[in-house]
Structures are given as structure tokens and as C-alpha cells.
A and B are shown apart, each in its own frame.
Chain A
Amino acid sequence: MKVWKILVAVWMTIVISAGFLIQIPEIAILEQSARNLFLHVPMWFTMMIAFSMAFYFSVRYLNDEHLKWDRKAETATSVGLLFGICGLLTGSLWARFTWGTWWTFAEPRMNLAALAMLIFVAYFILRSAFNDREKSAKISAIYNIFGVTTIPFLLYIIPRQLPSLHPGAEGNPAFSEITAPELRYIFYPAVIGFIGLSFWIMNVVNRYKVLKERTTLSGS
């Protein structure tokens, strides 16, 4: 076990505890569910980091066609998708008790986020469509570069232009001076903690893939 992993474990434990224990200001409608800020929003930040990494690894793969980059890109995409799905589910639950509905097609951010997830589900379907390892790696790298570039438009640019209940609509940033400072003390550490956790998961998945490749190579 590396030191940074123990650090992530302790850090996240403190963040989760502090997130429940601090006093938060009273906010109408949100009430205590404002604490969801520490959990729901870092999911999307972490997803964004993971997809950016996948973008970088895909570009690297196209540069030197080393399968190492393809492996890393696939892992980063799967972890990003994992966090994105968590973000969708937590957002849906939160919406039920603040907006009064699990899902609404009038809410652009919600639907475009779901669409973004579908783009990355398609990435894995595309990957599995090729028997040739190199061909699969090349085409999925190109697809991934396209996929990641749609994310800022789907999650940030388009939702900000449209009327929406979600914070960050009609030209405003989602996170602004109206956000209580007490919430920020936990929010930023939570973002760091979840990103650390995602690195840990990627690390384990990547090492598993290396072992799998080695054993299947020596076995055949």
C-alpha cells in the first residue's frame, strides 16, 4: 500500500464526517440537503478529471500507438462513467425532494448529462465491436477524443444558455458568491478526496489489466 492511498482513505473519512457535523446556514427548500453539495457536485468534478485524462491518453495513443495508452484511456473512461452515473443518480434523488420530481425533461442539464453518459456507454460498445486489438484501440481513441470534446458543451455551455432549475442556468455559474462560505470549507476538500479516490480505483484497474494481458499472452 502506497502512502497516498492511506492519505486518501483518512482524508475521505474526515471529509464525510465533517460534512455531517458542521453547522450549515438555513437555506429555504434545500434545508439539510444542502450537504449534498459535498457529494453530488464532486462526482461531476471527478468525472471531468477522469474524462480529461482519457482525452490525454487517447491523444498519446494516436501519437505512438503504444497499447499502454489505450489501456489507461479505457480505465479513465470507465471510472469517469462510474462517477458520472453516481452524479446522475444522486442528482435525481436530490431533485425529487427539492424540485418535486425524479426526472424532468424540462431540465436541460439533467437530460444533457444523461446524454453525455450515453456517449461514453457507446464508447464501450464500440470497443467491444472489434476483435483486432489495435484496430479497436485506434478507433476508440478517435471516438473518445470526439466524445470528451462534447462534454463542456453538454454540461456547461448549453445548460447555461437555457432556463433551468439547476444552479448555473441563464448565464450564471453554478457555484458563485451566493454559496455559503461554510459549505466551501468541506466542498473543496471533498473534490480533492473524490479525485484521489478515483485515482486509486484507476490504479487498481490498470494493474489488473496489466496482469490479465500478461497471463493471457503467456497462456496462448
Chain B
Amino acid sequence: MKLNIQDSGNTAVDTLSSSYSGKWEGVEGIEQTSAFIQLMASNDLIFVVLGVSLIIWFVLLFYLIRVDRNVSKLEESLKEESSDET
């Protein structure tokens, strides 16, 4: 049987001005989770912002290091090439 979510009876719920329910899954059962998750969820979630910033920083850093290495390799290969010619 084809199940159509649109017709499941909840269509009248206004999800723009009110939430689906008072329960917010993001903070549900935090005390049963690992110490890391508990730490991340503390202090008004500021550690989540720190995490996001560090991810961006490390990705950019990784990219910069990679470009730096590639330029170094190219410098090396061109140095060998010019010494072969002479």
C-alpha cells in the first residue's frame, strides 16, 4: 500500500509559528550520553561554535600546507630540469 505522508492527519499543524512538539530531541537524554557530548552541549553550545571554527581553520590550513608542498615540489623539479640542461 502506498503511504502518503501528506495525508497522515497532521497536515493541519502549523509548523511555521509553533514547533512540532515541546520535546526537543537535541537535548533529550544528554545525561545518558558520553562525556564528550555532554561537554559540547554545555555553556549554551559555545563549544559547537568552537568546533565549527576549528574545522574551517584546519581545512584551510590543510589546503595551504598542500599548496605550499606542491609549490616546493615544483621548485625542486624545475631546479633539476635546469641543471640537466646546462
Contacts and interface: CB of A to CB of B under 8 A. Distances in A.
A37 B61 CA distance: 22
B74 interface: yes
Interface residues on A, range: 10 to 19
Interface in A3-48: 5, 9, 12-13, 16-17, 20-21, 32
Contact of A200 (B53, B64, B74): B64
Interface residues of B, number: 19
A32 B54 contact: no
A17 B64 contact: no
A201 B72 CA distance: 14
Interface string A204-218: 100110010011000
A1 B50 contact: no
B37 interface: no
B3 interface: no
B50 A204 contact: no
A201 B65 CA distance: 10
Query: Chain B's interface: helix, strand, loop or mixed, by majority?
Result: helix
Given A1-B65, A9-B61, A17 B54 contact: yes
B54 A16 contact: yes
Contact of A211 (B49, B57, B71): B71
Contact of B46 (A20, A207, A215): A20
Given A207-B75, A211-B78, A215-B78, A32 B46 contact: yes
Given A12-B57, A21-B50, A204 B75 contact: no
Closest 10 A-B residue pairs measured CB to CB?
A: A20-B50, A207-B71, A204-B68, A211-B74, A9-B61, A208-B71, A204-B67, A16-B57, A16-B53, A204-B71
Interface of A: 1, 5, 9, 12-13, 16-17, 20-21, 32, 200-201, 203-204, 207-208, 211, 214-215
